[in-house]
Structure 1
Amino acid sequence: MTEIRRVLSGMRPTGRLHLGNYHGALVNWARLQEQYQCFFFVADWHALTSDYENPKSIPEYIREMVIDWLSAGLLPEKSTLFVQSLVKEHAELFLLLSMITPVPWLERNPTYKDQIVQLENKDLSTFGFLGYPVLQAADIIIYRADAVPVGVDQVPHVEITREIARRFNFLYGNVFPEPQAILTPTSKILGLDRRKMSKSYNNAIFLADSPEEIAAKVSTMVTDPNRARRKDPGNPEICNVFEFHKLYSPEEVVAEIDPACRKAEIGCVECKKRMAQYLIAGLEPIREKRKALEADPQRVTDIIWEGTQKARKEAAATMELVRSALGLNLQAG
């Protein structure tokens, strides 16, 4: 297994981030930046693969997402933060990789099949949607990344990238490392209704939510469905509120809530109120950083621009190797 030195990951810009994004990715990204050279990018071209009909909101979403990244602990002095579409070399490598990638590799992608079903209201019969794993491969290997932090469901994406890199190296010489997947440790955190936390489900708590908004949302959270009345004993193991307690409440409070719920010594309303106060306190540092960044939009612009320039330098160096391997590095006479 290759020693990990450089890590890369990205997110599609869909607006402000929620606790699912935070615990599912950002907490881990902040940890990784202390160990490795990290590149984190805004995947705005990827957003177009399924939302190509309405791209006007993407610029605003980019800023909102980068602000959340910075508020959650990503540091521009430790991580390179950049926007995909501002590094044109991604598109060049995508084009070249598309020449050598067999179509069956893309058609067997499980996410491709799932999205076709889940997003049946959208026309996804486009080359861009079918070929997005090739763009994703270009995003990763253009920085010669050794690893990509992903959830279990995204491991097939990294494997396709490895296959594409392997095929390029076989055809043209050893240019790219084969990136490995780093499985992201995630907390069990669901939306207000116990489904996956998502903007589209309207069940999310956002990092930018005010204390009042958080308290109101927590009050609607689904608890143990078998606990219909205050005197009914509950089961914390199937209660979404208790999962949040374990993340944000002090250990002594968690130890107290567990038996109290099982013995019906505490009601769901009181339990939610107690959890909400700790959740609000836990997110306060993020909200404060966000306020400061919103008050200084030029700083956000500068961070994006400086990170993009660093990324372009790395990408350009890789493309010199790629063109040389393909014999495409012709010089003007």
Structure 2
Amino acid sequence: MTSTPRPIILTGDRTTGPLHLGHYAGSLRARVALQHEARQFLLLADTQAMTDNVGRHQKVTGNVLEVALDYLAVGIDPALSTIVVQSQVPELAELFQYLLNLVTVARLERNPTIKEEMRLRGFERDIPAGFLTYPVSQAADITAFKATHVPVGDDQLPMIEQTNELVRRFNHTVGQPVLVECEAVLSQVARLPGVDGRAKMSKSLGNAITLGATPDEITRAVNAMYTDPNHLRVNDPGQVEGNVVFAFLDAFEPDTAKVAELKAHYRRGGLGDTALKRMLDERLQALIAPIRERRAEFARDRAEVLGILRRGTMRAREAAAQTLSEVKGALGLRYFEG
């Protein structure tokens, strides 16, 4: 009887800053669970982060270790998950080069994720070529490890669609199934808003709570959270939709019945923002305290963390090299073998 093969997971983060609660709600918790049931690669995407950080490369490289510390602090086990530094796997860059020939500039410009990212960065027509082509780089990352599942937010679905387009086109071009299509795995919390009510939590926007935040930083962030500007008195009915405090309670309070009752109470009036924020502050303090403590413990031996990254990256290179060999064989690029 043939056993079902374990899924291969590829996920990761750009190394432009330490991770925050938006990352934790969106995918970090899922990654901790998935490592027990799948072969998981976690990519520290420093090469990709360089595409829109020209002249700020120290910001990118300096955060490689910081993001790795966040991974370890939330429970990623390097014995179960392979943590990979993207720039140290040259096979990814070579595969990226081959895949670039299978997509047009017009198709890249139509990618909804790229269009939105260009708008946010104000690139207009001065977009760096590396940034425009990063969906192809991401496709190379996914296909190099033959990932079958990729945890993403809903804003990243166009990237998965484009990856599978490239897989199909490559396989059709060479006439054999070398690369593997992948499936998006959506997180339960698609996107956590910033504390200021903006649509996305971001360290660069100053509206994030990092995983290493101190107790005072957590309290200040919660007290600053956007609620309902029309909820002026405790007895006034309040609006739950668009209320950041409730978005955080939905993401981090495991007692869903309690959250439902709080929402009902707020809507009918009689529940003040101060009391609501106090409850959320207690929940976040309890959540982040053990993460912060584990992070500090790992940070005391940074040499060992670098060792974890080195060993994981070498394992990843072996997997990527195997895929690249198959790709080059299918393209007839192995001139000196046999």
1:184 deviates by 2.3
Could you tell me which of 228, 231, 238 is aligned with 1:224?
Answer: 228
Could you tell me which of 180, 184, 195 is aligned with 1:177?
Answer: 180
1:129 deviates by 1.9
Q: Does 1:234 align with 2:233?
A: no
**Equivalences for 1:113-192 in 2 at 5 Å?**
113-120=115-122, 124-172=126-174, 173-186=176-189, 189-192=192-195
Could you tell me which of 273, 280, 283 is aligned with 1:268?
Answer: 273
Taking the aligned partners of 2:133 and 2:254, their CA distance within structure 1 comes to 47
Q: Does 1:73 align with 2:75?
A: yes
Taking the aligned partners of 2:326 and 2:275, their CA distance within structure 1 comes to 62
Taking the aligned partners of 2:125 and 2:63, their CA distance within structure 1 comes to 22
Q: Deviations over 1:269-317 (max 9, x none)?
A: 2321232122101222211111101111112111111100100011111
Question: Relative to 1, partners in 2 of residues 1:327 and 1:258: Cα closer, same or farther, differing over 3 Å?
Answer: closer
**Equivalences for 1:283-322 in 2 at 5 Å?**
283-322=288-327
Q: Deviations over 1:181-239 (max 9, x none)?
A: 22222166322111121123211111110111111111111112221123423234543
Superposition TM-score, scaled by structure 2 size: 0.90
Taking the aligned partners of 1:36 and 1:312, their CA distance within structure 2 comes to 19
Could you tell me which of 193, 196, 210 is aligned with 1:193?
Answer: 196
Code of the residue aligned with 2:225 in structure 1: it is M
Is the contact made by 1:4 and 1:146 (CA closer than 8 Å) also made in structure 2? no
Count of residue correspondences: 332
Q: Deviations over 1:115-142 (max 9, x none)?
A: 2222116874332122212111111111
Code of the residue aligned with 2:134 in structure 1: it is Y
Q: Deviations over 1:137-187 (max 9, x none)?
A: 111111111121112221111111111111111122321111222222216
Question: Relative to 1, partners in 2 of residues 1:256 and 1:66: Cα closer, same or farther, differing over 3 Å?
Answer: same
Q: In angstroms, what is the RMSD of aligned CA positions?
A: 2.3
Code of the residue aligned with 1:23 in structure 2: it is A
1:21 deviates by 0.9
Structure 2 partner of 1:108:
110
- Greater Cα offset, 50-59 or 229-238: 229-238
Taking the aligned partners of 1:310 and 1:82, their CA distance within structure 2 comes to 9
Superposition TM-score, scaled by structure 1 size: 0.92
Code of the residue aligned with 1:225 in structure 2: it is P
Structure 2 partner of 1:45:
47
Taking the aligned partners of 2:239 and 2:23, their CA distance within structure 1 comes to 27
Q: Does 1:245 align with 2:249?
A: yes
Q: Does 1:208 align with 2:182?
A: no
Question: Relative to 1, partners in 2 of residues 1:311 and 1:188: Cα closer, same or farther, differing over 3 Å?
Answer: closer
For 1:56, what is the secondary structure of its paired residue? helix
Taking the aligned partners of 1:238 and 1:111, their CA distance within structure 2 comes to 23
Is the contact made by 2:197 and 2:242 (CA closer than 8 Å) also made in structure 1? no
Is the contact made by 1:28 and 1:185 (CA closer than 8 Å) also made in structure 2? no
Is the contact made by 1:188 and 1:243 (CA closer than 8 Å) also made in structure 2? no
Taking the aligned partners of 2:158 and 2:27, their CA distance within structure 1 comes to 18
1:3 deviates by 7.2
Q: For structure 1, which runs of at least 5 residues remain unmatched after alignment?
A: none
Q: For structure 2, which runs of at least 5 residues remain unmatched after alignment?
A: none
